[in-house]
């Protein structure tokens, strides 16, 4: 399956690195498209329409507000379309790309190293061969989870935003260590490896978070005291508030006459 990317920003680059195969791409910033094509071993093309002509699957990585403008160029030539656009439901994609197989995915940045979480919005069967090929393509990037469309935006708040949250947690832990005398470089090695190893343990143990906590935190012990401090600091409320903030509509700035 030949892949074409429309838009060559950070997530497009992560997808290209995860797939690690030649592709074609286009971007309003020509240099950004050339850089991505050079890294992926593919080709930067002059127009979105040319990408659609050359690709078996067009992957929409542009800004959501550009949906209609890009579709006007791409839809006549597109064979199949996959979107990673935020807040853009399947119904809007199907309206923009009628009579084409259309798919909606939300990836997370670790797809770059094939350790990402990818959510697919559940939809009706289209072309069986294309359905299977597209699902396999995105499953190659990590773990693919299919959810009802009404839950896709919630999932985005959990996993697409989460790399920034995890990076912030790691930074906070390193800073705490620095405050007690651990050099920042060594502290970062310790924290990042512990995060990576804990993620693998959770995966192997069926995502049983309580099992990990029970093994590490003995009653009245050091870890129990640390967990109590985190709870008193409002860690659960903070993550709940973060999800609410992601899902709340962004207030519009007042227009200027």
pLDDT (0 to 100) of residue 254: 43
Domain boundary among 148, 180, 196: 148
CA–CA distances in Å: residue 19 to residues 26, 78, 83 = 17, 20, 16
Q: Please indicate, yes or no, if residue 155 is contained in any of the structural domains.
A: no
The per-residue pLDDT for range 202-211, each reduced to its tens digit, is 999 999 999 9
Number of domains making up the chain: 2
Torsion sign over Cα 254, 255, 256, 257:
negative
Tens digits of residue pLDDT in 65-124: 999 999 999 999 999 999 999 999 999 999 999 999 999 999 999 999 999 999 999 999
Please check whether residue 103 lies inside any domain of the structure: yes
Give residue-wise pLDDT tens across range 130-167: 999 999 999 999 999 999 999 999 999 999 999 999 99
Residue 119, domain CATH: 3.40.50.720
Residues 101 and 56 in one domain: yes
Q: Are residues 84 and 109 in the same domain?
A: yes
**Tokens at residue 89, please?**
């439901």
Of 148, 172, 196, the residue that ends a domain is 148
- Residue 255: predicted pLDDT: 40
- 124 and 172 belong to one structural domain: no
Of 187-196, 225-234, 241-250, the one with minimum mean pLDDT is 241-250
Q: Are residues 144 and 236 in the same domain?
A: no
What confidence category does residue 253 fall into, taking pLDDT thresholds of 50, 70 and 90? very low
Predicted confidence (pLDDT) at residue 252 exceeds the cutoff of 80: no
- In tens, the pLDDT along 51-76 reads 999 999 999 999 999 999 999 999 99
- Statement to judge: residues 13 and 134 lie in one domain: yes
Per the domain annotation, does 137 fall within a domain?
yes
On whether both 7 and 103 belong to a single domain, the answer is yes
Give yes or no: residues 166 and 115 share one domain.
Answer: no
Q: Indicate whether 12 and 139 sit together in one domain.
A: yes
- 25 & 135 share domain: yes
Q: Which residue, of 114, 148, 182, is where some domain finishes?
A: 148
User: Which of residues 249 and 171 earns the better pLDDT score?
Assistant: 171
Q: What is the domain range of residue 41?
A: 3-148
Residues 32 and 131 both lie in one domain? yes
**Residues written for the chain:** 257
Do 89 and 169 have their domain in common? no
* Predicted confidence (pLDDT) at residue 251 exceeds the cutoff of 90: no
**Domain CATH code at residue 211:** 1.10.3730.10
Q: Tens of pLDDT along 3-55?
A: 999 999 999 999 999 999 999 999 999 999 999 999 999 999 999 999 999 99
Query: Interior CA angle at 157 toward 154 and 159, to 5°?
Result: 110
Whether 143 and 169 share a structural domain:
no
In a domain, 256, yes or no: no
pLDDT for residue 256 is more than 50: no
Decide if pLDDT at 169 tops 80. Answer: yes
């Amino acid at each position: 399956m030949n892949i074409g990317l429309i838009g060559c920003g950070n997530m497009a680059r992560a997808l290209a690195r995860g797939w690690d195969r030649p592709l074609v791409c286009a971007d309003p910033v020509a240099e950004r498209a050339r850089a991505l094509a050079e890294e992926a071993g593919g080709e930067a093309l002059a127009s979105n329409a040319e990408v659609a002509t050359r690709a078996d699957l067009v992957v929409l990585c542009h800004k959501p507000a550009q949906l209609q403008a890009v579709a006007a160029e791409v839809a006549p030539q597109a064979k199949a379309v996959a979107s990673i656009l935020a807040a853009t439901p399947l119904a809007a994609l199907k309206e923009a790309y009628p009579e084409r197989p259309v798919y909606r995915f939300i990836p997370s940045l670790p797809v770059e190293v094939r350790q990402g979480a990818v959510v697919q919005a559940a939809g009706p069967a289209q072309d069986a061969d294309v359905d299977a090929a597209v699902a396999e393509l995105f499953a190659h990037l990590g773990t693919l989870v299919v959810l009802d469309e009404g839950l896709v935006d919630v999932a985005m708040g959990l996993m697409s935003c989460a790399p920034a949250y995890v990076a912030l947690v790691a930074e906070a832990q390193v800073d705490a260590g620095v405050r007690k005398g651990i050099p920042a470089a060594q502290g970062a090695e310790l924290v990042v490896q512990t995060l990576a190893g804990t993620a693998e343990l959770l995966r192997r143990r069926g995502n049983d978070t309580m099992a990990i906590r029970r093994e590490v935190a003995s009653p009245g012990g050091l870890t129990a005291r640390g967990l109590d401090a985190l709870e008193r600091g409002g860690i659960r409320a903070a993550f709940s508030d973060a999800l609410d903030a992601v899902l709340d509509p962004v207030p519009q700035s007042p227009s200027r006459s």
